[in-house]
Amino acid sequence: MSRAPTRNAVVALLGTPSRTEGSLNEPRLAEENGLRFNEKWCYNELRSDPSGLPMRVVYWMRYDLVGSCVRAGANEPWRTDQTLAATLANADDRLAPLDGSRNPPVVPRAPYRPASEFDGPPDLGGRLAPTPAASPQGTTGR
């Protein structure tokens, strides 16, 4: 049973895009290469793309893959490509666990220092701010 590729599956296969335009919640729609989308992921130097080409644009409409285009170089025209969708049709939705040797944890350089100190016991707030004192009638505040 094939299903639409997920965002995680695209990142797992191609990596993080070189550049993005729009966002998941972008209310404005755009149209390019005959596809309507609200988010575009641009890849400029792919080494292991399913099409074998180094440049790809992936178009999204929120969580749904709208389509993808590829080209061999910056001077070439974009052409619609189905190899990404076909390659990821049965891919696992979850990203692979991080390899500790390739993604070492960040070691803090200095001990944690809070930006501010509490005055009194910490709580969750929920109080109304005090209202400013009412000025007497006839006072202009000069």
Domain annotation covers residue 103: no
Domain annotation covers residue 107: no
Domain annotation covers residue 57: yes
Which distant-in-sequence residues (6+ apart) come within 8 Å of 88 by Cβ? 5, 6, 9, 10, 13
pTM metric for this prediction: 0.65
Owning domain of residue 38: 7-87
Domain annotation covers residue 20: yes
Largest distance between two CA atoms of the chain? 80
Q: Which residue has the tokens 């007497």?
A: 136
Domain annotation covers residue 68: yes
Number of domains in the chain: 1
Domain annotation covers residue 123: no
Mean pLDDT across the chain? 83
Which distant-in-sequence residues (6+ apart) come within 8 Å of 70 by Cβ? 49, 51, 53, 55, 56, 57, 78, 79, 81
* pLDDT (0 to 100) of residue 32: 94
More confident site: 26 or 90: 26
